[in-house]
Amino acid sequence: MLSLYNTLSKSKEEFKPLNPGKVGMYTCGPTVYSYLHIGNIRAYLLSDTIRRYLEYIGYEVRLIKNITDVGHLTDDDVAQGDSGEDKMIRAAEREKKTPEEIARFYEEYFKQTEKELNIITAHFFPRATAHVPQMIKIIEGLFEKGYAYEKNGNVFFDVTKFEDYGKLSGNTLENLKVGARIEEHPDKKNPWDFALWIKAPKEHAMKWESPWSIGYPGWHIECSAMSTEYLGNTIDIHTGGEDNIFPHQEAEIAQTECYTGQKFVNFWVHTRHLLIDGKKMSKSKGNLFTLEDIKEKGFSAMDLRLLFLSSHYRSQTNFSWDSLEQAHKNIQRINDFILNLEAIASREIESTENFNISLYQEKFDAAMDDDLNTPLALSVIYEIITEGNKNIADGALSSEDAKKISARWKKMNSVFGFILSGQAEIPQEIKDLMHKREQARKNKDFGASDEIRALIEKHGFVVEDTANGPIIKPAS
């Protein structure tokens, strides 16, 4: 039985979907104005792991991930998401492009990055700019129910009207009053109200007509509009990074629940901050690494995937080049083992030993059921490898067992999502050379066998002789 830590209740809860067998999931997607950094990647990887595991245990998942291409302002971390400049417009000015060009470029980059990380594509990526009418409809509904007010063409949500404000982040109005001061907007009734609609200055590049002004939507209203549009009023799981919780998702809850009169989200699941060499990520520290930075140092997207899965999503993970190096070695180790298995499976080796793969599978399931404990699940894989390699070296792993382990691995890897090079990646030419070498060895022509081995190595592959015959793999 899967249990997930719910940020709303601050406890692990048994996961139950609204509709049997089906799960509706929403993930706060990227603001498409710059390159994703690895902190963003980690949050999308969490959403991917939840989805993969739900599918592994038999659920049909529908995942929506929005594209924020309007309304996300630069000062979102110091205010209520309604001050500063629009991030899209600022990027457009910086790069001398239109906001539309900026949005499509970084949206494409985001999708490409997800693909390289083998993050399964969401069922839909709704764009905020294509859902302004839905946002206006919700704002109108909030007016009717007395939660919204307008001044000078700007529309705000009155947080004092929503009793539950603060239930996700702990930032209740009581707590906020004694906390940090925020910049007050002259049109607001009280400082913690947040913008639903903002009147656009004349020169503003992105604006729409509305009952209140020619303007643009606030950032938070986007997610309410797109999640209710595609997943209904109540959704099973909403994910994001820890930094999305306040003010963004607190505002999502306020406006959606006041509009629909129903609970917005059953499970809120968040990744904790990622540290880089023990420090917070920031532009000024120059440590906002992208996937390109990772690749430039000779690592792969899969190395990064394994690194992130090696720590629990709710622990404050520390990224360092050393830890990535270790992850690289572990991916290599898994890859080598899978190649060994394939080689053993392709022969007809019998053994009196039995490999109890079901036992490991149970441990894997138990680890994942416990709030997606991927580090523990990975350690089960390493146990299989240690035990399996020992058996292979002793000539005690049968082809039948190798096939069984292979099949279970494929199932478990549907949760990890690693793309491994595998036997299929070994060119026919190399396989032919291996065959020739085997013949030479059978004929005790060791001179020829060594020559062929050297030739194989020249092509970037290594040959490992085991008790049950040679195994070939790419040189690391």
**Sign of CA pseudo-dihedral 116, 117, 121, 122:** negative
d(CA 250, CA 105): 30
Residue closer to Zn ion by CB (options 253, 357) is 253
Q: How far is the CB of 131 from Zn ion (least distance, A)?
A: 13
For Zn ion, the closer CB: 28 or 302:
28
Residues 453 and 472: beta-carbon distance below 8 Å: no
CB of 252 or CB of 336, closer to Zn ion: 252
CA distance 441 to 436: 9
Q: Provide the b/e sequence for 3-30 (b: ≥16 CB within 10 Å).
A: ebbbbbeeeeeebebeeeeebbbbbbbb
Comparing CB distances to Zn ion, the nearer of 6 and 399 is 6
Contact (CB, 8 A) for 88 and 103 = yes
Backbone angles phi, psi at 24, to 5 degrees: -100, 125
Shortest reach from residue 274's CB to Zn ion, in Å: 19
Q: In the bound complex, what is the minimum distance in angstroms from residue 137's beta carbon to Zn ion?
A: 18
Closest among 83, 76, 8, 10 to 247, alpha carbons compared: 76
- What residue ranges bind Zn ion (CB under 5 A)? 28, 223
25 vs 28, which CB is nearer to Zn ion? 28
How far is the C-alpha of 398 from the C-alpha of 349, rounded, in Å? 5
CB of 332 to Zn ion, least distance (A): 37
Query: Dihedrals φ, ψ of 217, to 5°?
Result: -75, 155
Q: DSSP class of residue 247?
A: I
CB of 268 to Zn ion, least distance (A): 11
Q: Closest separation between CB of residue 162 and Zn ion, Å?
A: 18
Which pair of tokens denotes residue 316? 């404050």
State in Å, rounded, how far the first CA of the chain is from the last one: 39
How far are the Cα atoms of 110, 159, 195, 435 from residue 338, in angstroms, in the given order? 31, 56, 54, 20
Shortest Cβ 126–Zn ion spacing (Å): 11
Minimum CB separation of residue 112 from Zn ion in Å reads 22
Closest CB 134 distance from Zn ion, rounded Å: 14
Nearer to Zn ion, 197 or 289 (CB): 197
CA distance 27 to 63: 8
Q: Look at residues 26, 24, 27, 28 and name the one whose alpha carbon lies nearest to residue 59.
A: 24
DSSP string, 289-350: --HHHHHHTT--HHHHHHHHHTS-TTS--EE-HHHHHHHHHHHHHHHHHHHHHHHHHTS---
Peptide bond before residue 247 is cis, with ω within 30 degrees of 0? yes
Nearer to Zn ion, 223 or 302 (CB): 223
CB of 28 to Zn ion, least distance (A): 3
Q: Which one, 26 or 192, has the nearer CB to Zn ion? A: 26
Side chain identity, residue 185: H
Q: For Zn ion, give the closer residue by CB, 235 or 420.
A: 235
Residue closer to Zn ion by CB (options 223, 367) is 223
Q: Nearest to residue 32, comparing CAs of 103, 95, 93?
A: 103
Cβ closer to Zn ion: 28 or 36? Answer: 28
Q: How far is the CB of 11 from Zn ion (least distance, A)?
A: 23
